[in-house]
Structures are given as C-alpha cells and as structure tokens.
Chains A and B, each alone.
Chain A
Amino acid sequence: MSLRTYFSLQEIQNEISQSQLTCTELVAQYLHNIEKKKHLNVFLEVYAEEATAKAKEVDAKIANGTAGRLAGMVIGLKDVLCHKDHGLQGSSKILSQFVSQFNGTAIQRILDEDAIVIGRQSCDEFAMGSSNEKSAFGPVLNEADNSRVPGGSSGASAVAVQADLCLASLGSDTGGSVRQPAAFCGVVGLKPTYSRVSRFGLIAYASSFDCIGPITRSVEDAALLLEIIAGKDDYDSTVSQSTVPQYSNLLNFNKKVKIGYLKESVESEGVSFEIREKLQNTIDKLKTDGHELTPIELPYLDYLLPVYYILTTAEASTNLSRYDGVRYGMRSANTKDLESMYKKTREEGFGKEVKKRIMLGTFVLSASYFDAYYNKAQKVRRLIKDSSVKLFEQYDFLLMPTTPTTAFKIGEMNEDPLAMYLADIFTVHANLAGLPAISLPIGKDSSGLPIGMQLVSNYFEEDSLLAFSKYLMNKN
C-alpha cells in the first residue's frame, strides 16, 4: 500500500479522477494508520466496516458522476457531535452507552456531500479543558512529542489530522478548543463567527460561545467544510440567516491590508521567545509585502479570562443539568431515593474539571452573587464586543499567537489549573466577541513543537480571513 500523506481534498480528488486512487484504498490507508497509531489514544470508536462500506458507495457514485462535493474526504468527529445511531458521550462516563438518535445539522450536511466518517474522537470531558487530559478515557498524546499534550478540548481531533489518521476533523470551539490544539499539533483550526454554523447536534458547553469548526491540513479544506456546514437552520433559532459565501471559490488574495498585531505577542515575557520570534518574522515579511502593520493592545486583556470563566461556567452549569440519570446515560447503582440518584449519578458520572465548572457556574448564578458576577461579566462582554467593532473600523485583521507557549508536558499543569487556563488567553477573545478566528501553523520551535499563529477578522468575514490565510500559508 502506498502510504502517502494528502494535504487537501483537492489532491485526493485529483488522484481519484486520474484513477490513481479510490476511496476504498484511502479508507484502508487511514484505518491502517489508526491501527498503527493506537497509542495516541485518539479514537473512542473507529467505524472501520461502516467507513469501508461507505467508501465503496462513494466510489460507485464517483464512477457514475453523482458524488457530492466531499467525495474522498475521510473525516473524524469530536465526541460532542450528534451522529445518528452512533455513540455520543462528550468523553464522559455520565453518557455511557448513549447513542444519538439524530444527525446534527453540520453532520447531516457533510454526510449529504459524501464525507466518510471514520470515527469518534476523544476530547476533554464535555469540551472543558485545554489539554485533552480531562477525557474520561485518558490523555491523548501529541504526535510531535508523545510526552506532550495535543491541547484541547478538541485535542484528539487535531492529533488525528496531524498524525494522518483522517484528512479532517470537525471539532468545537468555546474558548479556543479548535484553534489551540490546532496550534499545538501544527494544523489549521477555524472558529467561525458565532452563529455562522448551526449548533443543533452539538453537545452544549456554553451556548453563547460554542462554535463547530473544522480542523484540516489546508486552508482550502477549511473553506470548503465551512461552506458546507454553515448557514441557516430551522432547528437553531440563534443561527445567522445571512447567506453563506462560496468560501472555497473566494480564496484569491491580492490586496494590501491593515493589520493590528498584538503588542504582547512580540514583546511580552509571557509569550515564549521562539513564538515571538516567529511572529516577528511573519510581521516583517508582511511589511515587506506592503501591508500596513500596527502594534495594538487588545482591549480588556486582563478581563478576558475572568469574564470567559464566569459566563461559560454559568451556562455550562445549567446546560449540564440534563445529565441526571433519569432518562438516559449512566445512573449510579448507589441510589436510594430521588435525591441520592441525582447526587450519586452526578458525583460518579462527571469528572473533576466538569464538577468544578458546574459548581463555579452555580455559584455565579446564585441569587446573592448574580449581580456581582454574571451581570457584571455580561456588561464587560458587551464592552469587549463594542471595542472589537471599533478595532475593525481601523484594521482588516488582528494578528497574534494562538498560544503563549508550545505544547506542554502531560501532567505539567495538574498542580496549577490557572496556568492551564492561561493557555487560552489569546483565543477566548474571539469567543467573547463572537468573531471568526483561525490558527495557522507557522513553523516549529527548536524542539520540533509546532507553533500556531492566530488571525481574527470582522464578523462574517470568513471569506477574506480564509483568503488571507491561504496567502500567508503560501508565504511560509
């Protein structure tokens, strides 16, 4: 078997059209890789037979010219995405044996375009975490260095692409959960504008932050996937009704743009030296190309994490109330009555990080603290949004590192959860403001660990964000 790494769907479709490759062969290759890389602990379930059968079906469709636009795309799904008749548990014990009864909107749309789903990928429990160590199924390893984390919460989804276990993954991003692991794993991670993609079929962590986003090797694949999964949906009243541009046809970029780059990203001691250096190189190159680059300060930088943790935990504490042992999933064997059923089920079913966030959220929503925390945080979020609108009156893009450091060691942050939360410092801004943002691989540090750079654009300007990203990737 020829083991070649494909970087985009285009490459695959080209080979298929020249009869050098079939979907069946492709799936076999990825299944082979998955088997070989089992130690990375990426997949909770691999749909070997089903994917093989689907590959045959797609091959037949290609032969008679009826194949969808994602024919040849082998994709993995983060374990927070509803896939009909397949297991779904948010990498939590509390949803043991749970099987989704419906396809989420994004999943239905990629299936309709003949994507082949190869398996369900681990993540931090209920997407809460930045290291993929908080999965009920153990840590996931970074392919670049197996002693290091892949980031999180969509860590396994990023490793799957990094280690060539599938061409792309769909993850979810509430505070950086697509972009941060993409940066740690050297792949592309896109978080669309909030409301660009229907959340129907995404396990809710924090409803007003959650976004489904693709993790890919190429900007082109990210563009195509977004184009397919985005758009209005009867099942999500909060989804944007605005039309979806043909991102994949709008990837040409030949403008001079104004970019505001975060001053800290080249100056702050909090950002590792090698990341600063890479950022500076990129900035210099862009200047040489005639773009206008200005150092900026991110408004309310010190408030981003507190506001993020108050609001997301508040929403999470009630979003997770449904896991009560009454209707589905796990019910503790140690229950005597209604109250002990609730308490024991949730005590035994949830992991430590999830329980911590539920308690935090319950606290900030409680009557005596609501104004001091939740209400105040909402006001600051409003200010953050307003200041973002202003920023984009001056700049086309914001540029900053995706993360202050490269991938850290497994277990390294266990004693210092606040340090772990800092890993999200640059990514939470886009979620608080609802802006689209992308993490692009811009090289490696001296130990060979990937470095990611983040670009943020104005609301619903994914088209120019993706076009500029492609232009940047071609430069590197």
Chain B
Amino acid sequence: MSVYDKYQPVIGLEVHAQLLTNTKAFSWEASEYGALPNTNVTVVTLAHPGTLPKGNKKAVEFAIKMGVACGCTITRYNFFDRKNYFYPDLPKGYQITQDKTPICVGGTISIKTKDGLVKNIALNRIHMEEDAGKSMHLAEELDTLVDLNRAGTPLIEIVSEPDIRTSEEAYVFLSEIRKLVRYLEVCDGNMEEGSMRCDANISVMLKGAKEYGKKVEVKNMNSIRNVQRAIDYEIKRQIDLLEEGHSINSETRTFDASTGDTYSMRSKEDLNDYRYFPEPDLQPIVVSDEWLTSIKEKMPALPQELVKKFTETYGLPEYDALVLTEDKEIALYFDKICAQTNNFKAASNWMMGAVKSYLNELTLSINDFPLQPQQIAELIALVDSNSVSNSAAKDKIYPALIASPTKSAQKIAEELDLIQQSDTSALGRFVDEVLAKYPDKVAQYKGGKTGLLGLFMGEVMKLSGGKADPKITTELLKKQLDA
C-alpha cells in the first residue's frame, strides 16, 4: 500500500459563473466578452460620486433557475451585502454580494464517476454578486493596467459542501455544472475565457479520521482539466508534507498550468476583514410565489430528466442517453426525431453516428445542421419499410440529402434509384435464375456448405441492380434451398 492510500482527500469547490445578461448586474451598460478595454463602463461602473446601483431582474431569474435545477431552497427575502476591500479593479471599494441571504440554499449536484457510481454532492449555497475588473500585469509595462469592462457583470457563485473526495469527482462535478448552466442558458460555461471560474478548497486527513485537515485554497485554473490537475498536485503536495513531518499552512495558492504546480499567494493569517453589512443602496428583492412559479414554468428540460426520458420512455441504453444529453441542442434535436419515429434506437444511432461525425468533421453545432429532424425520421422510415437498405440510406441518400436539404429522403432515394425490390414475384424470378445458373453450388449448399448463401445473394443483387431487399431475398433463397 502506497503512503498516498493512507490519506483521504476532502475537496470543496466554489464555482463562479458569469451570467449571460445583456447588461451589468447593477448598471445599464453592456456586459460582453472581448470588448476593447474600458469601453463598457459608465459612471456607475467607475463608481463616480452620486451614482447608485440598479437592480437587474434577469440576473435574479438566472440565479433562481440554477437553484431550481439543483433542488435548492429559494430564499424569498433577499438583500445584498457589501464586501469591503481596497483593490484597483474594485471601483467602489466594495463588492455587492450576498452574504447573509444567499438566493439559493442547499441543493445537490448528482455525479456519476467512471466506475458507474452515482454520488450526490451537496451544495451549501448559490449566491448573486458582481464581478470585479481585471488587473493586467503586462510584460513590457511597468504599471499595472486595469480594465473595468468586467467590473459589475453579474455572477452566481455556487459553493459545494466538502463532499468531493477525488480529483475525478471534482472533474465530473464541474462538467455537470457546466452542462447545467449551458442547458439553462444562464452562462456560456467557458472556463478558458473566464466566464466560468473555479476555486478549490483542498485538505487531506488520515482515512477514518473525524476531523478535516487544514485546507488550502487553490485559484486560477482555467479549464476543468486543470482543476483536476491542480487537485492531484495539491493532494500529493500535502501528503508529502505530512509524511515528512511538516504541517499544512492554511493559505491561498495559485495554479500554474505550464508546470502543473501550485504556488503560495497569501497566507490566511493576513485575511481581510471584509466588514460585510447590508447594502443600503438596493431595495431587498422579494421572490413572490407568482414569480417563482413563472420561472419554474419556463425551465427547460434538464440533462438528468432527459436521460431518464431517453432510457425509460425510449428504451435507449444509458450510454446512448448520456452521449445524447451531453449537449442540450443535440438532445433536443434527437427528441424531435423521436416525435416522428418509433424506432428510437435507430434515431440514436443516426445521431451518434452519421449526424455527429458530420458535425465534428466541419466543427458545426447542431444549430447549423442542414437537415430537419423530420428528414432523419424519414430516412429511418425508408429503412424500416425495407424500401432502402441501411447502407444505402447512410452512404448514399444521407450525403445527397445534405447536399440538397430541401428535397425529401424518399425523392432522393427514387432519384438515385435505390428503392429496393421487395416484390416477391420479381425477386423470385431472379432467385430461380441464379439457382439455375449454379447447380453445382446448389448441390454443395445442400451438402452442408450453407456459407454459399452469400454467393447466391450477391448474384441476385447483381441481377436486381443492387435494389433487391436482402431480407426478402434471403427468405426466398432459403425457401428454395432448404426445401
């Protein structure tokens, strides 16, 4: 047993998600990524004297949506708090946040790890707050530059309980959150651009211990993969320290993606006293029954609900359901096909096979896919009715359909002359012809070389110009040969 197996890591995550509102949390200017520095700033963002914050109802609705999706209790009487500290990218000298009355309390995120175990990670809270600006330390620049475009954009912070035990669980947890915010369309979930950010609180204790070890906060991971790397590194670092007889410092560390290491930023001892108190410039927000109900009514289907529907109603294997719900738009597209066919497994195969490979090849999203769900359902119907073979549908009709998406699948099948012969009298003639042509092979077949069936089949196909329905042909052949 390795020394690392003696220890139990304990991990809690804090996820910041930038909300996709058109305007800032407490001001009226646009909040968008990638604008020129300091262009999305008004007197409010700049904290000019005499300015006041202005509530953003959309941001509240987005936070509530996330809370409903995670099964949180929605706080009905919300006020904001000021978190006071000085920093150049914080124009007011305080951040408007929710300390005492987070809009969402409790809730869980259900995760499934590679070995198939399902685990519920409890949430402590989800609260609303505003983002700070960005301080930039450019290599060729002596001064620190500040871009305030991001200052005041609305965020939710999702805080988990320390329920996570491995870096893999953290990875899946974050993937689930990203999937959720994207399904809900409250955040684009893009960690590379910083619209979703994660801080990890990590400690280790001896297995079986009752008390958690001293925790270390790690920041600045710009991808889900890097969160996993940072946690792995940190667990090892902490265990090594303990094994060498050192103790763990409660501190904030930063992750360096190029080395995979973490570095100390500041010790928890120089912790700021943030002097939280209720923000007197904003009216408390009361979430009425009506408002909550209307938000709940507008909730889109969530990934786990769709997995349930796909497995239980459509009878799909769980694997299919999980792959199909990875992306909301794919899932919804698939669901639309299923509204027009009963062959759900075929629909799933089309989505996971031909459709996805087309999208991947051209790096398109399903929204740019040229075919309507109806057209995929038609393809399935053509195959199911034995009008065309599966391979003809996939290799010939499907590409032709993509090339001319206004046509119907049936029309293209006819144009390409791919409609199968399923007329038994016509096929019967071909079968007779073939069997008459190879009397010796017929004799061998009857003598036990049943593998020769393929040869007869191929010949019938040739005669029919490739349009013989293989199923019916096989039946006819067998009838004659086995008689």
Residue positions of A touching B, CB distance < 8 A: 80-82, 88, 90, 95, 98, 100-102, 104, 199-204, 206-208, 234-238, 314-315, 317-318, 321-324, 326-328, 338, 342, 362, 365-367, 370, 374
When distances are taken between beta carbons in the complex, the residues of chain B under 8 Å from A323 are 49
Q: Could you tell me the distance between the alpha carbons of A338 and B135 in the complex, rounded to whole angstroms?
A: 12
Q: Contacting B275 at CB < 8 Å: which of A200, A208, A237, A362? A: A362
When distances are taken between beta carbons in the complex, the residues of chain A under 8 Å from B282 are 237-238
Residue positions of B touching A, CB distance < 8 A: 43, 46-55, 82, 84, 86, 88, 91-94, 144, 146, 273, 275-277, 280-283
- Contacts A/B (CB < 8 Å), 6 sampled: A100-B49, A101-B43, A200-B50, A237-B52, A315-B280, A321-B86
Q: Contacting A203 at CB < 8 Å: which of B43, B49, B82, B144? A: B49
Q: What is the distance, in angstroms, from A365's C-beta to the closest C-beta of chain B? A: 4
A365–B275 touching, CB < 8 Å: yes
A200–B43 touching, CB < 8 Å: no
A318–B46 touching, CB < 8 Å: no
**Given A98-B49, A203-B49, A324-B93; A366-B280 close (CB under 8 Å):** no
A237–B55 touching, CB < 8 Å: yes
Instruction: Beyond A207-B281, A367-B275, list 10 extra A-B contacts (CB 8 Å).
Output: A82-B48, A199-B52, A203-B49, A204-B281, A237-B281, A315-B280, A318-B277, A322-B47, A326-B91, A342-B86
When distances are taken between beta carbons in the complex, the residues of chain A under 8 Å from B88 are 324, 326, 338
A328–B48 touching, CB < 8 Å: yes
When distances are taken between beta carbons in the complex, the residues of chain B under 8 Å from A326 are 88, 91, 146
When distances are taken between beta carbons in the complex, the residues of chain B under 8 Å from A100 are 48-50
Residue of A nearest to B86 (CB): A342
Among the interface residues B51, B94, B146, which one has the most CB atoms of the partner chain A within 10 A? B51
B52–A235 touching, CB < 8 Å: yes
When distances are taken between beta carbons in the complex, the residues of chain A under 8 Å from B43 are 101-102
Q: What is the distance, in angstroms, from B113's C-beta to the closest C-beta of chain A? A: 39
Residue of B nearest to A368 (CB): B273
Q: Could you tell me the distance between the alpha carbons of A358 and B43 in the complex, rounded to whole angstroms?
A: 24
A318–B84 touching, CB < 8 Å: yes
When distances are taken between beta carbons in the complex, the residues of chain B under 8 Å from A322 are 47, 49, 91-93
Residue of B nearest to A199 (CB): B52
When distances are taken between beta carbons in the complex, the residues of chain A under 8 Å from B55 are 237
B50–A201 touching, CB < 8 Å: yes
- Please name the 9 residue pairs, one residue from A and one from B, whose CB atoms are nearest each other, closest first: A321-B93, A207-B280, A365-B275, A82-B50, A208-B280, A322-B47, A203-B49, A201-B50, A237-B283
Among the interface residues B48, B52, B53, which one has the most CB atoms of the partner chain A within 10 A? B52
**Given A234-B54, A318-B93; A324-B277 close (CB under 8 Å):** no
Q: Contacting B86 at CB < 8 Å: which of A88, A98, A104, A324? A: A324
B277–A365 touching, CB < 8 Å: yes
B277–A370 touching, CB < 8 Å: yes
B280–A88 touching, CB < 8 Å: no
Residue of B nearest to A209 (CB): B280
Q: Could you tell me the distance between the alpha carbons of A77 and B52 in the complex, rounded to whole angstroms?
A: 20
Q: Contacting A238 at CB < 8 Å: which of B51, B84, B283? A: B283
Q: What is the distance, in angstroms, from A306's C-beta to the closest C-beta of chain B? A: 17
When distances are taken between beta carbons in the complex, the residues of chain A under 8 Å from B273 are 366-367
